């Protein structure tokens, strides 16, 4: 897969994105000028030591947090100058989210949770697409169940289906297997990978797990708020070896990159 797409083909693009928290001497720089792109139809994992800025980057890319400077484009459209109303509509219609916490509404059934973004927008689901997504996540016999009646893996698959039901430009996944055992985690990651391969979906996933990252077609590494390396066709061993080149403070150790 190409790691240097053009702006026209990029599902999401960051241009010199900077973000700090706090003021004056207490300010902490989370992103120090990040530029990278994810082409349509790619599964991209973002990795880095704790404090490297990876979750902040995902929040800025998804329009969940405002950048201090720089630009973010989703489907070629800049989001940094959007007002709150336009940004809310974009997140609802063109972006899907999967978080470590499943964020399902406990009083709704699995089917109602999946179609919630469409219900909020006053739209009905495309029946054929809904059936395809439900079949892909293997929840056909669980649609009438509420979250408390589902396992953790099933709840996260509901969250994945909800993220896909609007056919978004990009799905952002923040540690999506963090609360799951290895088997349930593999099911969720396998589903995300199939969405890319079979549906042409774009997925950007933040993870600390080399095994999870190996499901992606490309891994981008962050350290100290900057992109410092990337890798195509990762394996758990290659990712782990690259991560060893960071010290516990998150600084790059000078070695030849993988």
Q: Which runs of consecutive H residues, i.e. helices, occur in the chain?
A: 54-61, 84-94, 110-114, 116-120, 127-137, 152-164, 182-199, 210-213, 236-243
Share of the chain above pLDDT 90, in %: 65
Helix (H) or strand (E) holding 28, with range, is strand 28-39
Ordered DSSP codes for 130-184: HHHHHHHHT-TT-TT--GGGS-HHHHHHHHHHHHHTT--SEEEEESTTTTS-HHH
CATH architecture, domain 38-54+82-243? 3-Layer(aba) Sandwich (3.40)
Residue 77 clears pLDDT 50, i.e. is over it: yes
Q: Give 140-178 pLDDT, tens digit per residue.
A: 899 999 999 999 999 999 999 999 998 899 999 999 988
Q: Give 171-182 pLDDT, tens digit per residue.
A: 999 999 888 889
Q: Give 227-255 pLDDT, tens digit per residue.
A: 999 999 999 999 999 988 865 444 554 44
CB of 46 within 8 A of CB of 206?
yes
């Amino acid at each position: 897969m190409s790691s240097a797409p053009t702006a026209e083909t990029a599902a999401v693009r960051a241009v010199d994105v900077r973000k700090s928290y706090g003021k004056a001497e207490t300010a902490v720089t989370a992103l120090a000028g990040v530029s990278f792109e994810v082409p349509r139809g790619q599964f991209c994992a973002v990795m880095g030591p704790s404090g490297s800025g990876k979750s902040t980057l995902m929040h800025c890319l998804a329009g969940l947090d405002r950048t201090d400077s720089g630009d973010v484009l989703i489907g070629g459209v800049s989001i940094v100058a959007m007002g709150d109303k336009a940004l809310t509509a974009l997140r609802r219609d063109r972006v899907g989210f999967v978080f470590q916490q499943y964020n399902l509404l406990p009083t709704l059934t699995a089917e109602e949770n999946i179609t919630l973004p469409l219900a909020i927008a006053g739209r009905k689901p495309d029946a054929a697409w809904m059936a395809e997504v439900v079949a892909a996540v293997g929840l056909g016999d669980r649609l009438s169940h509420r979250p408390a009646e589902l396992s953790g893996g099933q709840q996260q698959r509901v969250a994945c289906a909800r993220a896909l039901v609007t056919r978004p430009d990009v799905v952002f996944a923040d540690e999506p297997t963090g609360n799951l055992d290895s088997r349930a985690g593999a099911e969720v990651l396998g589903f995300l990978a199939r969405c890319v391969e079979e549906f042409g979906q774009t997925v950007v996933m933040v993870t600390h797990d080399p095994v999870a990252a190996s499901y992606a077609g490309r891994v981008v590494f962050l350290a100290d708020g900057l992109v410092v390396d990337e890798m195509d066709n990762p394996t758990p061993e290659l990712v782990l070896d690259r991560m060893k080149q960071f010290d516990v403070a998150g600084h790059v150790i000078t070695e030849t990159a993988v």
